[in-house]
């Protein structure tokens, strides 16, 4: 794409970065103009994050040239990048939870600007008002919602004289409404001449927001284009290559016998920031996928913890295949055919420092992998290899540490591990969160297949498109209460949006009656 | 008990609490930055012996105190180089430092055992020290007692209202994020460790030049360890360290005094009093789990290495 008319703000060429066993970036070219909103597209492991960290000075490239506003430069770390006017909002926020908003921001400013905290608070209020981002400078960061934490990160960048703002998958943690607010802010920023580098998997967002794009695949650039001129399908093709099927329409299923029922499930968490669950009633049938939508922090975590057995409750409030499991430990539940894919991959889904083989054993210990109390490592290893092969997990080998895998690959591994145990009930929390298109398709496909084999599946997700695509019935959770649950084709997006906001209509007085009508 | 006895107990409370405050404040700064230095006992002994030797040789207590501080910093530098620059395991390195310090101080002090010194003299505050009771308790101490209170005020102020305090907390909570906004994590941590070494060296000088002006092997008697646990029980708060250290000092003195009376409790039980009292009070103070979590440095003990 010719860009001679406008001024070039950042030009990278021949960027190369090699890690042991992995060529993260290979001869990459990236050109960002002033005032341009530039998308950086690519699957997990394509090298986007590495490239961003090179621009922001967190890591040094092995080779390549960085030209910033016409001058070839050597980036000497994040402090240098910030001096040049480069700001970055990380996917995993780099905020300090025990400090207030103003203190967090003060830390990233030059000392002379942060001396007067009152003046700074005033500036924070002004800037956040100017860009339409509500923010209270005196609150502690750990009390803020994820969306608000992201606003802190953005405002932190805006307080300096910013020329290039890098956002690493900013929308993956936001509600649809927050995404719209963010886009308004970014458009305003771009109109004022700031360049934006926007990393995302979500093509519709890129099409809406960006006027240039660079696509990476396996550490190499596959081209620069204008997303306004190119169809989403073509962009997706450039990302995943030629041989991955893109869109799938899945047959909806009716389901059979009731596999799981929640009977007046109530729960008051010990954590003062947790959500109290109120009288939940729900029936999930064998051979169906039930989708639960909702904005994060409305009781999903508590519900999942109760289902998985991390929290226990009255025995008869959760019933799996006729057995009261509410008071059982996770291991007892797994023996009955329960499987669970938690939202946090590292820490709950897998132990970061353990190998994939050991991680396999962790949730499959009741399977045929032990004899007379001894672990049969040969079998465990074979089982891990099967998962890696079948679910196309990219890793060095089955002894790779869980934390060495990219998010999408680890998720494929965890989903595979759970599905291969042939569960009767599978609970998945955000199964494709932060996962690239190819992996997401594979994961959804595996879920549908498991459903067709007769398992009951609950998918808790914030990705509404995904829920519509794979759920047979759909409902929403808001403030610890469940909406009615109806067949997906009967629920319009407006209705679901109302449910997510807690407006359950006249059904809300007694959701259980609606539920039983479908059960 | 007469008024003189009470006055003496309170006076001694300040003396006993002072070295604990110095060590614990230094360690608190160090831990706030994310570095756990278990080598306090070793640094303390080296500080004590170097201060004592310098005082014996030169007779200049001012100079001797500085020598002790530098000795503590030297030990801290060793610890910092290993655990920060080379990113070694902090726990193992700290324990090694304690053992090393114990041996080194015994070696250096061989020829100085049994020598007595005059010690640093009391520096009475004019006018104020003439007030009955209070004057004796508060204003007839050696300079290091006052200096300790000034250092407490300094640390308290740094964490309450300076950018440096924010930086130290940030580095201790999330070093990756701190690096990402351009804070030099290694540098802040190294400074914190050196400060901790200086404080402990000063505490060593206090032991061998003021508290008991002499040198004997292992004269620190576990104070480094007590200070370490004091930091945790005080939930990394300077004002609670002050409170806990004086409380510990008070209880230590009290048990000595009570042994001299007709109080019929086995002395071993009484010897536990300072520990039990300090732990009960500080645990009670830190019973608010959320507030305690807020002040605990999250990345403590984890070496940080910036990415290549």
| Count of the separate structural domains present in chain B | 1
Decide if B164 is inside a domain.
yes
Domain boundaries, position B78 = 3-111+138-295
Cross-chain Cβ contact A78/B166 below 8 Å? no
Decide if B20 is inside a domain.
yes
A511 pLDDT above the threshold of 80: no
**0.80 exceeded by the pTM?**
no
Q: Name, in order, each residue with C-beta under 8 angstroms of A322's C-beta and a sequence gap of 6 or more.
A: none
User: Could you report the per-residue pLDDT of A25-66, keeping only the tens digit for each?
Assistant: 888 889 999 989 999 888 766 788 888 889 988 888 999 999
- CA B45/CA A166 separation, integer angstroms: 51
Q: What is the DSSP letter of B125?
A: P
ipTM: 0.76
> Whole-number mean pLDDT of chain B?
90
Phi (first) and psi of residue A89, to 5 degrees? -110, 115
CB contacts, 8 Å: A157 with chain B = none
User: Could you report the per-residue pLDDT of A452-482, keeping only the tens digit for each?
Assistant: 999 999 999 887 888 888 999 999 998 899 9
A277-282 average pLDDT score: 91
Cα dihedral sign, A200-A206-A212-A216? positive
Residue B289's pLDDT is: 74
Residue B120's pLDDT is: 86
Cβ under 8 Å to B: A residues 254-273: 272
Q: Is B58 or B282 the better-scoring residue by pLDDT?
A: B58
Cross-chain Cβ contact B177/A99 below 8 Å? no
Decide if B14 is inside a domain.
yes
Partner B contacted by A98 (CB < 8 A)? yes
Question: What count of CB pairs under 8 Å joins A to B?
Answer: 69
CA-based R_g, chain A, Å: 24
- CA A309/CA A331 separation, integer angstroms: 8
- CA A493/CA A451 separation, integer angstroms: 24
- CA B1/CA B245 separation, integer angstroms: 24
Partner B contacted by A224 (CB < 8 A)? no
Distance from CA of B295 to the nearest CA of A (A): 7
A6 pLDDT above the threshold of 60: no
A364 pLDDT above the threshold of 90: no
User: Could you report the per-residue pLDDT of A254-267, keeping only the tens digit for each?
Assistant: 888 899 999 999 99
Residue A513's pLDDT is: 39
**Tokens linked to A162:** 């910013």
Q: What is the CATH number of the domain that holds B195?
A: 1.10.3470
Decide if B95 is inside a domain.
yes
CB contacts, 8 Å: A60 with chain B = 308
CB contacts, 8 Å: B290 with chain A = 272
A111-124 average pLDDT score: 84
Q: Which of B163, B174, B307 sits opposite A59 (nearest CB)?
A: B307
A354 pLDDT above the threshold of 50: yes
Cross-chain Cβ contact B179/A58 below 8 Å? yes
* A347-356, A499-508, B138-147, B196-205: range with lowest mean pLDDT: A499-508
Cβ under 8 Å to B: A residues 272-331: 272
- CA B184/CA B179 separation, integer angstroms: 6
Contact A257, A230 (CB under 8 A): no
> Whole-number mean pLDDT of chain A?
84
Partner B contacted by A492 (CB < 8 A)? no
Distances (CA, A) of A363 to A68, A387, A411, A415: 50, 13, 14, 11
A1 pLDDT above the threshold of 60: no
Distance from CA of B221 to the nearest CA of A (A): 36
CB contacts, 8 Å: A108 with chain B = 181-182
Decide if B119 is inside a domain.
no
Q: Which residues pair with A215 in a beta bridge?
A: A41, A223
Q: Is A160 or A31 the better-scoring residue by pLDDT?
A: A31
Partner B contacted by A509 (CB < 8 A)? no
Decide if B123 is inside a domain.
no
Residue A512's pLDDT is: 42
A21 pLDDT above the threshold of 80: no
Residue B111's pLDDT is: 92
Of all residues in chain A, the one with the smallest CA distance to B297 is: A98
Contact A441, A389 (CB under 8 A): no
Decide if B199 is inside a domain.
yes
Q: Calculate the dihedral angle through the C-alpha atoms of A505, A509, A513, A519, rounding to the nearest 10 degrees.
A: 50
Instruction: Kindly list the structural domains of chain A, giving each domain's residue range(s) and its CATH number in brackets, ordered by start.
Output: 8-240 (3.40.50.300), 258-518 (3.40.50.300)
Residue B279's pLDDT is: 82
Phi (first) and psi of residue A501, to 5 degrees? -90, 0
Cα dihedral sign, A414-A416-A419-A420? negative
Cβ under 8 Å to A: B residues 184-203: 184
Most confident of A371-375, A485-489, B256-260, B284-288: A485-489
Q: Which of B173, B176, B181 sits opposite A108 (nearest CB)?
A: B181
Identify the band that residue A517 occupies on the pLDDT scale cut at 50, 70 and 90. very low
Long-range contacts of A228-237 (CB under 8 A, 24+ apart): A232/A203, A232/A204, A232/A207, A235/A41, A235/A203, A235/A206, A235/A207, A236/A203, A236/A437
Residue A485's pLDDT is: 93
Residue A243's pLDDT is: 61
Cross-chain Cβ contact B181/A99 below 8 Å? no
Partner B contacted by A366 (CB < 8 A)? no
Decide if B307 is inside a domain.
no
Cross-chain Cβ contact A115/B176 below 8 Å? no
User: Could you report the per-residue pLDDT of B168-196, keeping only the tens digit for each?
Assistant: 999 999 998 888 888 899 999 999 999 99
Q: Calculate the dihedral angle through the C-alpha atoms of A213, A217, A219, A225, rounding to the nearest 10 degrees.
A: -20
Residue A2's pLDDT is: 42
């Amino acid at each position: 794409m010719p860009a001679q008319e406008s001024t070039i703000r950042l030009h990278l060429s021949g960027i190369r970065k090699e890690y042991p066993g992995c060529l993260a970036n290979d001869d990459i070219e990236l050109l960002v103009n002033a005032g341009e909103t530039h998308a950086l597209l690519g699957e997990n492991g394509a090298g986007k994050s590495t490239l961003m960290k090179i621009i922001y000075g967190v890591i040094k490239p092995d080779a390549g040239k960085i030209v910033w506003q016409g001058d070839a430069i050597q980036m000497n770390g994040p402090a240098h990048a910030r001096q040049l006017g480069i700001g970055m909002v990380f996917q995993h926020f780099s905020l300090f939870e025990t400090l207030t908003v103003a203190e967090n921001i003060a830390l990233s400013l030059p000392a002379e600007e942060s001396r007067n905290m009152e003046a700074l608070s005033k500036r924070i209020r002004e800037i956040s008002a100017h860009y339409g981002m509500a923010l209270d400078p005196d609150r502690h960061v750990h009390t803020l919602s994820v969306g608000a934490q992201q606003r802190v990160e953005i405002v932190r960048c805006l307080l300096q004289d910013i020329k290039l703002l890098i956002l690493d998958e900013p929308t993956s943690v936001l509600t649809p409404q927050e995404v719209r607010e963010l886009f308004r802010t970014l458009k305003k920023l771009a109109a004022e001449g700031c360049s934006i580098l926007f990393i995302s998997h979500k093509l519709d967002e890129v099409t809406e927001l960006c006027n240039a794009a660079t696509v990476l695949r396996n550490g190499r650039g596959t081209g620069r284009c204008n997303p306004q001129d190119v169809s989403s399908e073509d962009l997706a093709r450039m990302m995943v290559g030629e041989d991955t099927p893109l869109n799938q329409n899945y047959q909806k299923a009716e389901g059979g016998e009731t596999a799981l029922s929640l009977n007046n499930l109530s729960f008051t968490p010990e954590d003062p920031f947790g959500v109290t669950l109120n009288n939940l009633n729900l029936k999930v049938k064998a051979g169906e996928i039930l989708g639960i939508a909702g904005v994060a922090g409305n009781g999903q975590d508590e519900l999942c913890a109760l289902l998985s057995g991390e929290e226990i409750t009255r025995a008869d409030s959760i019933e799996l295949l006729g057995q009261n499991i509410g008071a059982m430990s996770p291991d007892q539940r797994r023996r009955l055919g329960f499987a669970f894919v938690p939202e946090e991959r590292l820490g709950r889904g897998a132990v970061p420092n353990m190998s994939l083989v050991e991680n396999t054993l962790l949730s499959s210990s009741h399977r045929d992998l032990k004899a007379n109390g001894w672990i049969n490592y040969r079998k465990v290893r074979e089982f891990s290899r099967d998962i890696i092969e079948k679910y196309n997990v990219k890793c060095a080998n089955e002894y790779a540490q869980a934390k060495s895998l990219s998010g999408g690959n680890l998720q494929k591994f965890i989903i595979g591990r759970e599905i291969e145990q042939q569960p009767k009930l599978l609970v998945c929390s955000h199964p494709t969160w932060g996962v690239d298109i190819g992996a997401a398709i594979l994961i959804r496909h595996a879920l549908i297949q498991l459903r067709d084999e007769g398992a009951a599946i609950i998918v808790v997700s914030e990705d509404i498109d995904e829920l519509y695509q794979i759920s047979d019935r759909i409902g929403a959770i808001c403030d610890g209460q469940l909406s009615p649950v109806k067949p997906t084709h009967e629920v319009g997006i407006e209705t679901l949006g109302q449910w997510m906001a807690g407006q359950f209509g006249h059904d809300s007085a007694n959701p259980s009656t609606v539920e039983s009508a479908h059960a | 008990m007469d008024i003189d006895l009470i006055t003496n107990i309170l006076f001694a409370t300040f003396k006993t609490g002072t070295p604990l405050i110095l060590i614990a404040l230094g360690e608190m700064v160090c831990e706030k930055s994310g570095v756990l230095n278990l080598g306090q006992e070793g640094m303390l002994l080296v500080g004590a012996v170097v201060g004592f030797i310098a005082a014996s040789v030169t007779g200049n207590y001012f100079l001797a105190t500085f020598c002790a501080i530098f000795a503590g910093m030297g030990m801290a530098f060793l610890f910092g180089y290993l655990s920060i620059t080379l990113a070694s395991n902090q726990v193992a390195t700290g324990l090694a430092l304690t053992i090393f310090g114990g041996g080194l101080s015994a070696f250096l002090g061989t020829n100085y055992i049994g020598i007595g010194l005059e010690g640093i003299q009391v520096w009475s505050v004019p006018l104020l020290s003439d007030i009955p009771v209070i004057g004796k308790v508060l204003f007839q101490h050696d300079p290091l007692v006052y200096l300790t209170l000034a250092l407490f005020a300094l640390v308290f102020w740094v964490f309450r209202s300076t950018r440096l305090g924010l930086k130290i907390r940030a580095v201790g909570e999330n070093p990756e994020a701190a690096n990402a906004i351009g804070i030099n994590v290694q540098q802040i941590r190294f400074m914190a460790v050196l400060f901790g070494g200086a404080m402990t060296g000063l505490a060593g000088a206090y032991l061998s030049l003021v508290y008991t002006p002499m040198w004997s092997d292992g004269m620190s008697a576990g104070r480094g360890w007590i200070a370490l646990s004091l930091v945790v029980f005080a939930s990394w708060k300077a004002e609670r360290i002050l409170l806990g250290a004086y409380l510990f000092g008070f209880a230590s003195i009290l048990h000595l005094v009570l042994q001299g009376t007709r109080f019929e409790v086995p002395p071993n039980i009484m010897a536990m009093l300072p520990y039990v009292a300090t732990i009960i009070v500080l645990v009670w103070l830190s019973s608010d789990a959320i507030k305690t979590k807020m002040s605990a440095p999250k990345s403590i003990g984890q070496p940080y290495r910036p990415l290549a």
